[in-house]
Amino acid sequence: MFRKLLALSLTSSLVLSGCSSGVSSNPPGNGNGNSTPTATPTTASAAIKHVVVIFGENVSFDHYFGSYPNALNLPGETKFTAATGTPVPNNYVSNPGLLTNNPNMNGQNAAGAANPYRLSPAQALTADQDHGYTDEQGAFNNGKMDLFPLSVGSADTAALAVSSGASAVSSTKGLTMGYYDGNTVTAYWNYAQRYAMSDHSFNTTFGPSTPGAINLISGQTNGIVAANTIGLGSSAVADGNGGMTLISDGDPYGDVCSSTSKYLQMAGKNVGDLLNDAKVSWGWFEGGFDLSITNPNGTTNCKRSTVLSVSGQTGAVPDYVPHHQPFQYYASTANPTHARPSSVAAIGTTDAANHQYDMHDFTDALAAGNLPAVSFLKAPAFQDGHAANSDPIDEGTFVATTINALQKSSFWSSTAVIIAYDDSDGWYDHVINLVNGSATTSDKLNGAGICLSATAASSALPGVDGKPHAQGRCGYGPRLPLLVVSSWAKKNYIDSTVTDQSSVLKFIEDTFLSGQRIGQGSFDSSAGSLNNMFDFSNGAAAPNATPLILNTATGAVTSGN
**CATH at 14:** 3.40.720.10
Domain-located, residue 463: yes
Q: What is the DSSP letter of 346?
A: T
Domain-located, residue 29: no
Domain-located, residue 452: yes
Q: Which amino acid is located at 340 in the chain?
A: R
Distance (Å, whole) CA 522 – CA 472: 14
Neighbours of 534 (CB within 10 A): 29
Residue 524, classed as helix, strand or coil, is helix
Domain count, the chain: 1
Q: Please determine, for residue 212, whether its predicted confidence score (pLDDT) is greater than 90.
A: yes
Contact 383, 324 (CB under 8 A): no
Domain-located, residue 554: yes
Distance (Å, whole) CA 549 – CA 561: 8
Domain-located, residue 77: yes
Domain-located, residue 450: yes
Q: What is the pTM of this model?
A: 0.92
Average pLDDT over every residue of 75-101: 97
The per-residue pLDDT of the chain, averaged, comes to 91
Domain-located, residue 454: yes
Q: Please determine, for residue 373, whether its predicted confidence score (pLDDT) is greater than 60.
A: yes
pLDDT in tens, 26-74: 444 444 455 667 889 999 999 999 999 999 999 999 999 999 999 999 9
319 or 240, higher pLDDT: 319
Grade residue 466 by pLDDT with cuts at 50, 70 and 90. Answer: low
Least confident of 164-178, 218-232, 267-281: 164-178
Residue 34: predicted pLDDT: 55
Average pLDDT over every residue of 395-404: 98
Alpha-carbon distance values, 26 to 35, 428, 537, 538 (Å): 16, 36, 7, 8
What DSSP line would sit under 351-409, residue for residue?
STTTTEEEHHHHHHHHHTT---SEEEEE--GGGS--BTTB-HHHHHHHHHHHHHHHHTS
Domain that holds residue 252: 2-20+50-559
Domain-located, residue 379: yes
Cα 175 off chain centre by = 21
